[in-house]
Structure 1
Amino acid sequence: MSPKDTASTAKSGGSSAFTPARIGILVLFVLLLVFIFENTRQVKIRMIIPELSMPLYLALLITAVIGGICGGYFVARRGRR
């Protein structure tokens, strides 16, 4: 048997639809849906001048994205030094 034959046999014979990585992603997705459906009420957010009204989950998501962008920028800058 060549290595090519054993690799194809291992892929087809032992594969499962539920790997630990897929189960983890599924759990995170379910938690995300629970978070969104639990935080749908409207909240007022005051920026410098305007006052915005939006769902709480959207405000938290925007804050997380802005924080991720800022964090990624500083990590990338540190890597260039």
Structure 2
Amino acid sequence: MSPNTSTGGSRSRGTGGGLMTPGRVAVAAVAVLTLVFIFENTRSTKIRLLIPEVTMPLWMALLGTGLIGALCGAYFIGRRK
């Protein structure tokens, strides 16, 4: 018997790994919860950055802060590679 004719349990890997991987589900859940949190906080608030003071909806401030954090995270992950 030749070793190439083995019927062992070798799995072939798919090219995409499937549409619903656990990591993608977790990211989607966090994104949905983040959006719910942001849009539940719609009242106006005063924001002061050093000297100027602006009044804006709280959801805009939260969204802006989240985007800045995501950009910083992407920068550091890209720099690690």
Bigger proportion of residues as helix: 1
CA, structure 1 residues 63+25, in 2 after alignment: closer, same or farther (shift >3 Å)?
closer
Residue-pair matches, total: 64
- Give the alignment's TM-score, normalised by structure 2: 0.52
Percent identical among aligned pairs is 44
RMSD of the TM alignment (CA)?
A: 3.5
**Does 1:25 pair with 2:27?**
yes
Unpaired runs of 5+ residues, structure 1, are 73-81
Q: Runs ≥4 in structure 1, deviation > 2 angstroms?
A: 45-51, 57-66
1:52 and 1:16 map into 2 onto residues whose CA distance is 46
| Residue in 2 that maps onto 1:10 | 13
